[in-house]
Structure 1
Amino acid sequence: MGRSGWVRYIGVAERRGRLGVRQRLARGARAGRPEEVAGSLVALHGTDPATVHLAVGARLTDPGVTVAETERALYGDRSLVRMHGMRHTVFVFPTDLTAVVHASTGLAVAARERAALLKDMAKAGAPDAAWLKEVEESALAALVRRGQATAAELAEDEPRLREQFVYAAGKSYEGVHTVSTRLLRVLGVEGKVVRGRPLGSWTSSQFRWAVAPPHPELDVAEAQAVLLGRWLAVCGPATESDLKWWTGWKVTDVRRALASIGAQAVELDEGTGYVVEGDVGPADAPVEPWAALLPGLDPTAMGWRDRDWYLAPELRPPLFDGSGNVGPTVWWDGRVVGGWAQRPDGEIAWRVLVPGGVGREAEAAIAEEARRLQGWVGATRVTPRFRTPLERELAG
């Protein structure tokens, strides 16, 4: 029974314990393959390409295989796929979740994106929907023939992709869009194409495109229940606010999905939270205190809207950019205690921000993780896409 007498109370210490085990951060909970990491976390932020590899490497028992194994999963076996998902953001998902993600979050966004493209083209006096459909079919056929291709390569087969139109004419943000840029984005949200192998290294943001793996069309409500259940099993307990923020859905969709999976209410310091059915029992088995260096936009650091239980408010200004994107963070036993950056010479520099420090044991463990990270990143230089005050300072 919880403190109020009707639901179980789950405190901060227990939530941090769950986080260490279920997010694959505690030493004994680390994974052997990238697929295990992605399966446990449901989604890896893919807006910054380096984040995917750094998030995986932080959770592998042998981080030395991070790059090769993650590239195998993404581009060889295609057991992981980079595609648009929640909140109109690019993520990396296990391939068996593509249909669920597409139905639960992609369909509504896709309809808005295609309508917006057609509206912008019409305002600019560009060709109509029938013309766009013809170009789309031709581009997809070219992509099937090529296997993977950049927008420029596809335009060699379908020259109409190079055509341009003025966007927001007369506005302060007026610009020129190329058909290929907007169309490939729409096709990505619609689940017809996905990002393929990058042109450069694992830190490159220039991607080829590939035809999306085939998947069945699912009922929207059923897909939302599956996705929410998968996430809540890893990240629960979570508040309704957390769930609405992470999914990007309407609150009515969140509540319907909670009811569908039989989620159970628990009491948190923030108020009512939810766990999957049967997850109100004893906490996960205790683990030894652990340290981790997580990248900017890591799915754990960005996993909840209400973050005070693992990230003190006074630490946010140096660790977040002006748009709310988290930078590289240093963790000790379930909470953020500082940040890190890579210097030009490759050194991983870190700083504890917690008043009074974290003690010798924690500092030794953090230093070990910094050496572990520097060891597998090697000569590669990683600069976060969204830079934060502390990261800039440490990078020097």
Structure 2
Amino acid sequence: MAPAPPSSTPRISDDERRARLAHRQLLAPGRRAATVEEVADALVGLHATDPATVYLSACARLAEPSTAEVERGLYEDVTLVKLNSMRRTLFAVSIDAAPYVNCSTARAIALKEREGLLKQLRQSLPDWDERRLVRTEREVLAALAERGEATTAELAQDVPALRESMVVSPGKPYEGRQSVGSRVLRLLASDGHVRRARPRGSWTSSLYAWAPSPQLPDVPVREAKAEMARRWLGSYGPATEADLKWWTGWTLRDTRAALADVGAREVRLAAGPGFALPGDLEDAGQGGDWAALLPGLDPTAMGWRDRDWYLAPEHVPFLFDRAGNVGPTVWWNGRVVGGWAQRADGEIVWRALTDVGRDAVAAIEAEAARLSAWIGEVRVTPRFRTPLERELVR
């Protein structure tokens, strides 16, 4: 645990931290963005484990919410890139941020992915070794270059090795089989050779085609980590050392080095010692009332390890699953006050877990109507179901 800062260290209250959310996380109506790239950069990255989250998170912050705008960035201009990165989680990041995300976190994860896959292949399929894996990857990339875009199943028509399957978790109660193809394509994506192209189906679908990925420039690892710390503090700071370590998945040593490299200033938070960027110590002020309906795994809800300053501990069992994944949340002036869901008939329903007052109810209802208007006929079920979300859809 870091030592307590001296009394002369600037103090930033929880109220000030919540006020910053309205501006930096683009949640106040007057702060909403024009493009999906602006949203991604404001949050450093958009959680993408659940395909719907990218759209829901972006449109909550767009002045004119539109699935077409998100698809433009992801699939037409390819100015958003999905990388398996922070905390071994899939994020959609801007093409400007991608080199830093790649070199600070994604490459190290890709190396572990390769080691893990080779171990599983050797255990389950003795004729597989590193040379065969590399040869198969080359064949996949050649087939993909010929096709332009293709699903894993389509690529398996050209590369028969992808049709093989291997045993995962042998000897465990949950032992099963997994296709070699799914793992090889995931590895190629982790290495930055392929990207997830437009899904086959609606924007909520997980059945992606694959396409060649734009090659990202190299950045020295330490420089990349420093830039990531700078971007994160600019969006999520002031925050604790433990928050940054948790969010990135870095070691404590790397976290401290990155904070030092950006000249982070020590501050006092209600949670204990924290850090802010140089020149970022002024009171953010109050930007007026705001409400937001954010999706499961939204970056704002998952941005810090310590959440007590915006989420009452007694609300956690209603809004998180057992693995620690947050579900859809309702926000009022920088606090999580409840949750929401979409019923089978399309109705957006929500429930407050605390008394929020009439002004908040009116603002939340307006956000629910805004969300319903752009979603239209699409039905969204979070990949990670939470107790309150399940209850609301009954």
Range class of TM-score, shorter chain: over 0.9
1:73 and 2:70 equivalent?
no
User: What is the TM-score of this pair, normalised by structure 2?
Assistant: 0.96
Distance 1:151 1:374 in 2: 34
Distance 1:104 1:128 in 2: 28
The secondary structure found in structure 1 opposite 2:12 is coil
What CA deviation, in whole Å up to 9, does each residue of 1:53-97 have, x standing for no partner? 11111111122xx20110011000001112211111111100122
What CA deviation, in whole Å up to 9, does each residue of 1:242-281 have, x standing for no partner? 001100000100000001111111100111111112111x
The secondary structure found in structure 2 opposite 1:369 is helix
The residue aligned with 1:334 is: 334
1:95 and 2:95 equivalent?
yes
CA shift for structure 1 position 285 = 4.4
The secondary structure found in structure 2 opposite 1:349 is strand
More displaced stretch, 245-254 vs 146-155 = 146-155
Q: Is the 8 A contact 1:3 1:9 kept in 2?
A: no
Q: Is the 8 A contact 1:169 1:175 kept in 2?
A: yes
Superposition CA RMSD, Å: 1.4
Distance 1:156 1:283 in 2: 60
More displaced stretch, 70-79 vs 176-185 = 176-185
Q: Is the 8 A contact 1:149 1:210 kept in 2?
A: yes
What CA deviation, in whole Å up to 9, does each residue of 1:327-370 have, x standing for no partner? 1111000100011111111111111111xx11111111111111
Letter of the aligned partner of 1:242 in structure 2? D
The residue aligned with 2:86 is: 86
Equivalent residues in 2 for 1:369-384, closer than 5 Å: 369-384=367-382
Letter of the aligned partner of 2:140 in structure 1? A
Equivalent pairs, count: 390
The residue aligned with 1:304 is: 304
Distance 2:119 2:176 in 1: 15
Distance 1:3 1:130 in 2: 53
The residue aligned with 2:188 is: 187
Residue in structure 1 matching 2:31, options 7, 29, 50: 29
Letter of the aligned partner of 1:382 in structure 2? V
The residue aligned with 1:367 is: 365
Equivalent residues in 2 for 1:375-394, closer than 5 Å: 375-394=373-392
Letter of the aligned partner of 1:192 in structure 2? H
Distance 2:107 2:80 in 1: 20
Q: Is the 8 A contact 2:57 2:298 kept in 1?
A: yes
Letter of the aligned partner of 1:38 in structure 2? A
What CA deviation, in whole Å up to 9, does each residue of 1:24-43 have, x standing for no partner? 00111111111111111111
In structure 2, the CA distance between the partners of 1:187 and 1:26, relative to structure 1 (3 Å rule), is same
Distance 2:384 2:294 in 1: 14
Q: Is the 8 A contact 1:101 1:227 kept in 2?
A: yes
Residue in structure 2 matching 1:19, options 8, 18, 21: 21
Letter of the aligned partner of 1:82 in structure 2? K
CA shift for structure 1 position 140 = 0.9
Q: Is the 8 A contact 1:126 1:165 kept in 2?
A: no
The runs of 5 or more residues in structure 1 that have no matched partner are none
What CA deviation, in whole Å up to 9, does each residue of 1:174-223 have, x standing for no partner? 32222211111222222222211111101111111122211112211111
The residue aligned with 2:295 is: 295
Distance 1:3 1:314 in 2: 29
CA shift for structure 1 position 98 = 1.8
The residue aligned with 2:279 is: 278
Distance 2:391 2:318 in 1: 10
The secondary structure found in structure 2 opposite 1:338 is strand
Q: Is the 8 A contact 2:5 2:267 kept in 1?
A: no
CA shift for structure 1 position 165 = 2.6
User: What is the TM-score of this pair, normalised by structure 1?
Assistant: 0.96
The runs of 5 or more residues in structure 2 that have no matched partner are none
Letter of the aligned partner of 2:27 in structure 1? L
Letter of the aligned partner of 1:104 in structure 2? S
Distance 1:110 1:214 in 2: 15
Q: Is the 8 A contact 1:235 1:303 kept in 2?
A: yes
CA shift for structure 1 position 283 = 2.0
The residue aligned with 2:235 is: 234
The residue aligned with 1:173 is: 174
Distance 1:247 1:146 in 2: 35
The residue aligned with 1:53 is: 55
Distance 1:316 1:14 in 2: 23
Query: What is the percentage of aligned positions where both structures have the same residue?
Result: 56
The secondary structure found in structure 2 opposite 1:58 is helix
The residue aligned with 1:149 is: 150
Letter of the aligned partner of 1:51 in structure 2? T
Letter of the aligned partner of 1:197 in structure 2? R
Q: Is the 8 A contact 2:83 2:102 kept in 1?
A: no
Distance 1:268 1:167 in 2: 45
1:127 and 2:128 equivalent?
yes
The secondary structure found in structure 2 opposite 1:121 is helix
CA shift for structure 1 position 51 = 0.7
Letter of the aligned partner of 1:309 in structure 2? W
More displaced stretch, 116-125 vs 224-233 = 116-125
What CA deviation, in whole Å up to 9, does each residue of 1:103-159 have, x standing for no partner? 100222111111121122122213221111111101011112222211011111211
In structure 2, the CA distance between the partners of 1:182 and 1:126, relative to structure 1 (3 Å rule), is farther
Distance 1:334 1:30 in 2: 15
Q: Is the 8 A contact 2:25 2:235 kept in 1?
A: yes
